[in-house]
Structure 1
Amino acid sequence: MIKKVFLILGAVLFSIQCKSQQVQPDPNSNEFSREKTINISPKLVVGMVVDQMRYDYLTRFYNRFGEGGFKRMIREGFNCKNNHFNYVPTYTGPGHASVFTGTTPQNHGIISNYWYDKFSKKGVYCASDPSVRAVGSDSEMERMSPHRMKTTTVADQNRLHTQLKGKSIGIAIKDRGAILPAGHSANGAYWFRGKDEGKWITSTYYRKDLPNWVQKFNDSDKAESYLKVWNTLYDINSYTESGSDLNNFEAGFKGKETATFPYDLANLKDQNEGYDIIKGSAYGNSLTADFAIAAIDGEALGKDEITDFLTVSFSSTDYVGHNFGVNSKEIEDTYLRLDKDLERFFNALDAKVGKRNYTVFLTADHGAVHVPSYLQTVKIPSGYFKKDTLSTKIMTFVKERFKVDGLIEKVDNDQVFFAYDVLNKNNIDAQNLQKAIAHYVLQYDQIDKVFTREQLLMGTYTEGIAALVQKGFNQKRSGDVVFVLDPATILYSRTGSTHGSGLNYDTHAPLLFMGKGIKQGSTTERTTIPDIAPTISALLGITFPNGATGDVLPFVLK
């Protein structure tokens, strides 16, 4: 009887095992091969950065947006409502590098737009490269490449993953906005040369001459067409989400008595650096969208099953913000017009690549502060800082305290750089000098916090401004003492907005995803800028950028 039960049980188990094996496809069968080779990656990834975009621009202007731009991304895609930069300084160069490398200046090395290079003893620009020359311009000012960025971008990793078959193209009015996102191995990066030229250019880092499609675009005089009157898109009286048009907090353009609409760009051109005036108007974004659409065809992006990468930075929002401030009619009009440019760009992607064939994300490189002179009128603590005065005081203090001249090499980017040859010659301990300066600077009016090199290298900060300073501190390139200004206190003119701090007005930036492989929804869970590149890498199934420290956002991906 027992033997019979075991025989029955064995037969049942054998049957179950056979059925279990039957659901697994044969590795050599066509079915297995088909499942294995299904391509879930988009044909094109478009990474967009809106320069100086605060998150609240999405909500503040939401009711005035059309259905095909920002609203389309929110409606069809995923909105990360609590997205922040997790380092300082919040500037354009570090911002673009961090978005696409998935890490912070601590690792990618772009510690500012400009910084003091203590090895060459001179200031350097984040994208400058004396070993290359401009292509499309004779200017000596346009010698640019990504060589100062130490790590790879997600676009680089896509190039490596596809055996260099996937293209990578970067586009922006600003050179650094085009160059840093596209990465080291890009097929091309193109930026706008204003002045008396009004053309899109590149450098010999990428190629020896402009491709035909770029030359054709330049020959079309498209830039010339934007030298026209900039007036509000709608009745200015309907612009209720911004302050009065005439006020004391805006700079405006040379040659126009007041910073008020309308602006005749053609008549103001000669007094405002020629074609550069387009950069400082809403039309700079329209010109960028025109060029990006031309690039889709010109570079045959998204035309096959191998993923291509297009990075687009809309730079004019930053120029307008710096000139007129975050509460201006000009900034409101710029975003209403950008919304229409985005709709036009998305429609072009739908038609040229296919609505289900591309993935796009949109974020910013930093936010911006309200004009402090305006904040003062509504009794919010704010102010203006004079760096040169502090620099002189630091050098005087150090000379009197240590009885040695020349111990400080430079005060730059809210950092103090030591002259180590002078320290060594006079047997002065660097840590003692750090502590002395830190204590002195902290007593100075408008200084909120001070950190020494020793603190940032030896300690681990997990929250607050200290953590942001540490993630922005590069062991090799940064200085020896770092100071932080009071909230809403800036080194800038009394008109217009700026950025750079670790406060929410500078760190809280939009993050929208849309397209193939992206869920529909939103979250208020905190996300950070370095999370973007790992998330896109996971979508594509490729290796993360080699210095990436961000996390994949699983709730974004299908």
Structure 2
Amino acid sequence: MVAVALLAWSLTASAAAPPRLVVVIVADQFRADYLTTFASHWRAGVQTLLRDGANFRRAQYPYAYTDTCAGHSTIATGTLPRTHGMIADSWWDHETNLLVDCTDDEAASIISYGSPLVVAAPVAGRGATPAGGRGAAPVGGAGNSPRNLLAQTLADELRQQRPGGRVVTLSLKERAAINLAGHSGDAVMWFDEAAGTFATSSAFASAPVPEVTQFIDASPYVKDVGFVWTLRDPSTTYRNRDAGVGERPSNPWSGLFPHNLEGATAAQYANLWRRTPAADVYLARMATALIDAYRLGQAENKTDFLGISFSTLDYVGHQFGPDSREVEDIAAHLDDVLGSLIAHLDDKVGRAKYVLAFTADHGVAPVPSPAKGFGRLTLDDVRERIEETLRNRYGPPDKDAHVARIYYPNVYLSPAIRQRLAADPLTVRAVQDAVTSLPGVARLLYTPELSDRSRDPLVRAAALGRAATRSGAFLIVQKRNWVLGPRGTADATTHGSPYDYDQHVPLILLGGGIRRGTYDAAAAPTDIAPTLAALAGVTLAKVEGRVLQEALLPDSQTTRR
């Protein structure tokens, strides 16, 4: 039914000239409530989106576990994790007995745009440069690719159904850039954390892309070495105080502004730089350079695709929390970044000739506060409680442990235990009772019992996010405002829950064919790809979202000059 509706709308919408450029912008960890909470800071990009765009105020993810890989894959494909397969940033592979990152591919190689920084030496005050020359050949070892993505993206369909268009995606995270692009792309770029350089994959290119090389050579990110992160606005305009309780800033920073990059070692520099507004500015500058180099959106009868995922808010949010001055200020700086990017698109392409979607891959929980009645539970406690229960019921394992791995929210068991539990509902209940007796655990769901037709909204949400060969035997659901993570985590907080602060995200459309306004109809990030596909006159092979028809202008009112 949804596919038929999408096709019907696509045929109607294609009567108008399709956009020359489709833009998807993801602000990693940007909660929907930030749009109003931080409203006093909007004077550029966010202000433009809210004033001129179609704002769906009730947009939220329908599945239970929200993270970067799942979110970007959902946005890009219009399908849910049960379909696109990207259930989490990582999952346990029973065949190899290894934890697999969602874009891991041992057959792919990393193509670097610079050698690693010299770790042993402090970063010089005049500006550091990478040791050695540009990486012109693939780097050995496991790389990244879209091979684990089981659905076609909007960018994939644009390339196949409207040949000749370019696909460019950028992020600080490989799982964001890759999943926005899909299975091919002209420039698919991310920041390689291990090497401290920008990189791509042999899955997309055989050598460094010249247009990207030109930008990086002319403007290496290490030129930000003297950057000092100060407040964008007067301190009296911030609702959040400095040095909040529970913050966990990276060494050598404290919880107080300003935050300085100068004097950091090379290893610290790459880590800290990603946590400053300078990183978002740099990514936007790279995007505008590639818009110009590829002349995105400037050719008739072609539709290019540009995907940008800004990651800094997520890095900062994990360490400082949503109620920190740092998060508030990153959002304020991002407003400027979005403003400059939209202005460049207006100038080079024209507002009526492109369509843009702005959203987030997930939200974030508040920093745990025992005084407020919620706290932190370690996954180690959950694992030990399950292991203890299974040993009491079945005896010690033949080797290793009954619990193979926990990667939140999935609990992976040994093959022998999975088989025994399938015929032993009493032990399943014993495990569930043992875990839910821990503080902070709301439920432990047994995945073979999940159904997307359940009347229990939590069970249904969990089912929408489950892929049988990649999900665990159990799914942990924490209580509201509780945070689960490993012992000794460096994060103050995290995401990945079925609650509004994680699921509720912005969804704003802007550009040609878009009817501006505020919409209270139910919506989800799964609706972005079908809506943009309809405007571009292409169809999606698989779709679980809907076309947001209420925000689209009728043909007689759609003009793209």
TM-score normalised by length of structure 1: 0.86
2:544 aligns with one of 543, 549, 552: 549
Partner of 2:23: 46
C-alpha change, 1:142 and 1:221, in structure 2 (3 Å) is: farther
Q: Once superposed, what is the RMSD of the aligned Cα atoms?
A: 2.3
From the superposition, tell whether residues 427 and 370 of structure 1 become closer, same or farther in structure 2 (CA, over 3 Å). closer
Shift of the 124–161 alpha-carbon distance from structure 1 to 2, 3 Å rule, reads: same
Cα distance between partner residues in 2 of 1:228 and 1:298:
28
2:219 equivalent to 1:224? no
Q: 3-state SS of the aligned residue for 1:227?
A: helix
Q: After superposition, what is the alpha-carbon deviation per residue over 1:428-456, rounded to whole angstroms, capped at 9, x for unaligned?
A: 72655434422332333321112212311
1:356-395 matches, cutoff 5 A: 356-373=352-369, 376-377=370-371, 379=372, 381-395=373-387
Q: How many aligned residue pairs are there?
A: 511
Q: Take 1:547 and 1:86, find their aligned partners in 2: how far apart are those partners? A: 17
Q: Distance in 2 between matches of 1:191 and 1:483?
A: 31
Give the deviation of 1:80 after TM superposition: 0.5
What is the aligned partner in structure 1 of residue 445 from structure 2?
A: 451
Is 1:304 the counterpart of 2:291 in the alignment?
A: no
Which AA in structure 1 matches 2:64?
V
User: For the residues of structure 1 that align with 2:465 and 2:418, how far apart are their CA atoms?
Assistant: 26
Using the alignment, how far apart are the partners of 1:473 and 1:173 within structure 2? 27
Q: Residue 293 in 1 paired to residue 288 in 2?
A: yes
**Partners of 1:166 and 1:271 in 2: CA distance:** 38
Asked whether the 8 Å contact 2:385–2:434 carries over to 1, the reply is: no
Residue pair 2:418, 2:473 contacting (<8 A) in 1 also = no
Q: Is the aligned partner of 1:278 residue 2:270?
A: no
Kindly state the Cα deviation for residue 254 of structure 1 after the two structures are TM-superposed: 1.0
**Residue matched to 1:327:** 323
Change (3 A) 1:449 1:132: same
1-side partners of 2:395 and 2:15: how far apart?
A: 72
Deviation, 1:70, is 0.8
Amino acid in structure 1 at the alignment position of 2:315 = Y
1: CA distance between counterparts of 2:354 and 2:55? 17
1:416 paired with 2:418, answer: no
Return the match for 1:248 from 242, 245, 248. 245
* CA 1:230–1:142: 2 relative to 1, 3 Å: farther
Would you say the 8 A contact 2:110–2:143 is kept in 1?
yes
For residues 267-309 of structure 1, give each alpha carbon's deviation from its aligned partner in whole angstroms, at most 9, with x where no partner exists. 234362x323211111111011011111112222112121111
Partner of 1:58: 35
Does 1:177 pair with 2:176? yes
SS of 1:518's partner is coil
Mapped partners of 1:271, 1:501: distance in 2: 32
How far is the alpha carbon of 1:141 from its aligned partner? 7.0
Q: CA deviation at 1:187?
A: 2.6
Structure 1 residues 532 and 234: CA distance shift in structure 2, 3 A: closer
SS at match of 1:473: coil
SS at match of 2:183: coil
Q: Aligned partners of 1:370, 1:141: CA distance in 2, in Å? A: 38
> Kindly tell me: are residues 409 and 229 of structure 1, through their superposed partners in 2, closer, same or farther at Cα, counting changes over 3 Å?
closer
- Deviation at 1:64? 1.9
Q: Take 1:327 and 1:36, find their aligned partners in 2: how far apart are those partners? A: 42
Equivalent residue number for residue 155 of structure 1 = 155
C-alpha spacing 1:207/1:263, structure 2 compared with 1 (3 Å): same
Matched, 1:338 2:339: no
Alpha-carbon distance between aligned partners in 1 of 2:207 and 2:297, rounded to the nearest angstrom: 24
Equivalent residues of 2:13, 2:535 under 8 A apart: no
TM-score by length of 2: 0.86
In the alignment, the residues of structure 2 paired with residue 223 and residue 399 of structure 1 have an alpha-carbon distance, to the nearest angstrom, of: 52
For structure 1, the residue ranges without an aligned partner over 5 or more in a row are 1-34
| Cα distance in 2 for residues equivalent to 1:484 and 1:338 | 32
Residue pair 1:167, 1:308 contacting (<8 A) in 2 also: yes
Deviation at 1:469, TM superposition (A): 0.9
Letter in 2 for 1:47: V
Residues 1:80 and 2:56 aligned together: yes
Does the 8 A contact of 1:44 with 1:357 survive in 2?
Answer: yes
Residue 248 of structure 1, CA deviation: 3.0
What secondary structure does 1:275 align onto? helix
Going from structure 1 to structure 2, the CA distance change for 1:194 and 1:287 (only over 3 Å counts) comes to farther
Q: CA separation of 1:494/1:265 partners in 2, compared to 1, >3 Å: closer, same or farther?
A: closer
Amino acid at match of 1:548: V
Measured after TM superposition, the shift of residue 195 of structure 1 is 6.0
User: For the residues of structure 2 that align with 1:165 and 1:237, how far apart are their CA atoms?
Assistant: 49
Deviates more, 1:148-157 or 1:476-485: 476-485
In 2: Cα distance, 1:427 partner to 1:97 partner: 32
Task: Say whether residues 1:259 and 2:255 are aligned partners.
Answer: yes
Q: 1:428 to 1:56 in 2, by over 3 A?
A: closer
Q: CA deviation at 1:190?
A: 0.5
Q: CA 1:196–1:420 in structure 2 vs 1: closer, same or farther (change >3 Å)? A: closer
Q: Which residue of 2 aligns with 1:188?
A: 187
Mapped contact 1:40–1:517 kept (Cα < 8 A): no
CA distance in 2, matches of 1:298, 1:430: 62
Q: Which runs of 5+ in 2 are unaligned?
A: 1-11, 113-134, 554-561
Deviation at 1:98, TM superposition (A): 0.7
| Alignment partners' CA distance in 2, 1:430 and 1:127 | 35
Over 3 Å counting, the alpha-carbon distance change for 1:175 and 1:302 in structure 2 is same
Amino acid aligned to 1:476: T
Q: Please report how far the alpha carbon of residue 422 of structure 1 lies from its aligned counterpart in structure 2 after TM superposition.
A: 5.8
- Give per-residue Cα distances to partners, 1:236-271, cap 9 Å, x unaligned: 4223221x2123322223124x22111221223436
Task: Answer whether contact 1:409 1:417 (CA < 8 A) is retained.
Answer: yes
Shift of 1:348: 1.1
Give 1:152 shift: 0.8
Give distance in 2, aligned partners of 1:46 and 1:139: 31
Q: 1:553 deviation in Å? A: 1.2
